[in-house]
Amino acid sequence: MATSMSQIKENQATSKSGSWSTVVASLAALGSVIAASSCCLPLLPFLFAAGAAGTSAFVAQLRPYLLVLSVLLIAFGFYKSWRAKQCNCKPSRISTFLLWFSAIVVFVFIFFPQVIANLVADLLAGKS
């Protein structure tokens, strides 16, 4: 029994020093990544742009499905709001406002996608 207690204390001491060395090793790795990226810093905007382009191409393929999902979820929200009124539970003003705001945003994104794209492009370019 005495040997098992000494082994437990020894394991606890080893795990405490092991956790400290893990923290130091993690900080050293993070520091080396930061130091190495300072040499490659001009490359980062190009990598970000390539990643954003790839993501937008993927999301563009999903656009019809996402729009259908949006319309279905907005319709479900209006159904739940109607059911709440049938049960004499009045929805809060905030939830009603958010539901109508969401419906308007989805409507604009469905019927005026190019207007939204031009608006975002102008905002990102710094034009007013």
Rounded to 10°, the helix 113-125/93-111 angle is 100
pLDDT recorded at residue 73: 95
pLDDT, one tens digit per residue, over 54-106 is 787 888 888 899 999 999 999 999 999 998 888 888 888 998 999 999 999 99
Question: SS3 for 1?
Answer: coil
Residue of 120 and 40 predicted with greater confidence: 120
- pLDDT bin (cut points 50, 70, 90) of residue 35 is confident
Check pLDDT > 80 for residue 125. Answer: yes
Query: In this predicted structure, what is the pLDDT of residue 89?
Result: 85
> Which amino acid is it at 55?
T
Predicted confidence at residue 11, as pLDDT, reads 58
Whether 44 and 37 have beta carbons less than 8 Å apart is answered as yes
